[in-house]
Amino acid sequence: MSTPSLPLADLVRQVRQSREYHRLTDAIPYTRFVGIGVENLAGEMLCRMRYAPHLIGNSILPALHGGTLGALLESSAIFELLLKTDTERVPKVISTTVDFLRSGKAQDTFARAFITRQGRRVANVRVEAWQDDRTRPIASSHALFLLSEP
């Protein structure tokens, strides 16, 4: 775990250089609780939400809770912005649209974020989440983030 007293900007700079993504996700209680981590798989940065029983929203199917999928999508976008841009503050969500495309099974879920447009203060990010087959996403989102105050 990272040192709690380490300022976020310093931690982000260190993680950008070291690529020890777990240091950033371990510093955030919610990502630890939900099991969201950042990984470098096959040369690309992906988020993985590790399956745990408390993530189930519909126990009859069983299916992942939509809120956990939304958290994965938003976290993936924020980590993409923190690690691929020079912003040193946590980006603030201005607006987001989530499309739930199919039920999430009781297994690990992956997400990949793409910065589609970035200005000085605002960025647009698209995210897709999948499980077994990347070509069959279970959820996607488009979000607009404030990177810095005017």
81-122 confidence digits (pLDDT tens): 999 998 878 999 999 999 999 999 999 999 999 999 999 999
Residue 5: pLDDT band (50, 70, 90) is low
Fold of 6-144: Thiol Ester Dehydrase; Chain A (3.10.129)
Cβ within 8 Å of residue 10, ≥6 positions away: none
34 vs 32: CA distance, rounded Å: 6
User: How many CB atoms within 10 Å of residue 61?
Assistant: 12
First-last CA distance in the chain: 33
Residue 27 to residue 8: CA distance in whole angstroms: 9
β-strand partners of 71: none
pLDDT bracket for residue 1 (50, 70, 90): very low
Domain ranges of the chain: 6-144
pLDDT of residue 81: 96
More confident residue, 123 or 5: 123
- Residue 3 tokens read as 């040192």
50-77 average pLDDT score: 96
Predicted pLDDT at 2: 44
Higher-confidence residue: 66 or 5?
A: 66
Q: Give the tens place of pLDDT for each residue, 114-142.
A: 999 999 999 999 999 999 999 999 999 99
Name the pTM for this structure: 0.92
* Tens-digit pLDDT profile for residues 26-56: 999 999 999 999 998 888 999 999 999 999 9
Pull the structure tokens for residue 73: 């999508």
3-state SS of the chain is CCCCCCCHHHHHHHHHHHCCCHHHHHCCHHHHHHCEEEEEECCEEEEEECCCHHHEEECCCCEECHHHHHHHHHHHHHHHHHHHCCCCCCCEEEEEEEEECCCCCCCCEEEEEEEEEECCCEEEEEEEEECCCCCCCCEEEEEEEECCCC
Q: Looking at residue 150, what is its pLDDT?
A: 65
